[in-house]
């Protein structure tokens, strides 16, 4: 079915039989849509009567509750901010988490109000980085029951990255340099610390050694890496169910090089 985008005549729609997926929507023609070529809409699986527990729900461990402060770039009394475990395509991708194991709708008024303040603060901090035009704030919450808000920075001038596909582009673009990434993390952490809390990301040390010895640097800070952490926003959004609930197509997706996370 290569009838993409616009101009699907009524006669074509009528001829679509039950087994055929719906026509591909217009947004596949937008400049911001990252893919081209023939596309097909996937067949929808039947809805499940009972959804599986998210991480931190039912008998599933909570990654956020188990993570030490050292896994974060900034920590405060009631909030923590972490990064991916390595640089991705966007200049900055951060996650704001409550310390308490609560989801968005469960926040008491104090935390709800602070979430607003923290959101504005983080947006400003990230937007203050060189080369950042806009910061997109997202909350999905299908992977983990523990409140986590995503902050995605769009690089300045990259008009093609505008809008909702930014989370996809984060995995498509070549990763930014490690030193730039660490510098950005340190700047954001320092900015947040102006208002309180503790910055844990440090700028990269000036490397005095020869390049061959760089990998031996003992001063790698800002290591928000836990094995289960998502490597990018899009991988995090892809929550892989427990094995017994794994459908064929999901099993295919889970062969990605990184462990499932969300
Ligand atoms: Zn938790």
- Ligand 1 centre from 66 Cα, in Å? 7
Q: What are the distances in angstroms from CA 155 to CA 27, 169, 229?
A: 21, 11, 24
Write the pLDDT tens digit of every residue in 8-67. Answer: 444 444 444 456 667 899 999 999 999 999 999 999 999 999 999 999 999 999 999 999
Between 71 and 233, name the one with better pLDDT: 71
Question: In 3D, which of 129, 94, 232 has the Cα closest to residue 172?
Answer: 232
CA-based R_g, the chain, Å: 21
- Ligand 1 centre from 88 Cα, in Å? 25
- Ligand 1 centre from 129 Cα, in Å? 30
Tell me the pTM: 0.76
- Ligand 1 centre from 145 Cα, in Å? 7
- Ligand 1 centre from 41 Cα, in Å? 35
Q: What are the distances in angstroms from CA 63 to CA 25, 57, 109, 146, 240?
A: 36, 11, 25, 8, 15
Write the pLDDT tens digit of every residue in 103-145. Answer: 999 999 999 999 999 999 999 999 999 999 999 999 999 999 9
- What CATH architecture does domain 63-203+221-239 belong to? 2-Layer Sandwich (3.30)
Distance CA 92, CA 129 (A): 9
Q: Which residues are in the CB-under-5-Å shell of ion ligand 1?
A: 56, 62, 64-65, 101, 146
Spatial CB neighbours of 96, under 8 Å, sequence gap ≥ 6: 79, 80, 81, 115, 118, 119, 122, 148, 149, 151
């Amino acid at each position: 079915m290569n009838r993409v985008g616009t101009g699907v005549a009524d006669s074509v729609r009528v001829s679509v039989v039950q087994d055929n997926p719906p026509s591909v929507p217009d947004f596949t023609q937008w400049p911001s849509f990252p893919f081209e070529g023939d596309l097909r809409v996937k067949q929808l699986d039947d809805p499940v009567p009972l959804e599986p527990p998210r991480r931190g729900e039912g008998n599933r461990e909570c990654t956020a509750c188990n993570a030490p402060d050292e896994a974060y770039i900034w920590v405060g009394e009631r909030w923590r901010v972490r990064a991916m475990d390595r640089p991705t395509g966007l200049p900055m991708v951060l996650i704001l988490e409550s310390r308490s194991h609560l989801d968005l709708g469960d926040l008491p008024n104090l935390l709800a109000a602070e979430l607003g303040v923290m959101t504005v603060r983080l947006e400003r901090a990230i937007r203050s980085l060189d080369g950042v035009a806009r910061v997109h704030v997202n909350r999905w919450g299908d992977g983990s029951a523990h409140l986590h808000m995503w902050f995605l920075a769009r690089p300045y001038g990259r008009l093609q990255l505008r809008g909702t596909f930014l989370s996809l582009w984060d995995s498509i673009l070549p990763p930014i340099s490690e030193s730039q990434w660490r510098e950005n993390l340190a700047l954001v952490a320092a900015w947040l610390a102006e208002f309180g809390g503790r910055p844990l990301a440090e700028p990269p040390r000036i490397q005095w050694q020869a390049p061959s010895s760089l990998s031996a640097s003992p001063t790698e800070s800002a290591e928000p890496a836990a094995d289960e952490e998502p490597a990018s926003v899009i991988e995090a959004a892809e929550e892989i169910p427990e094995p017994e609930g794994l459908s064929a197509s999901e099993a295919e997706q889970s062969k990605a090089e990184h462990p499932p996370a969300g």
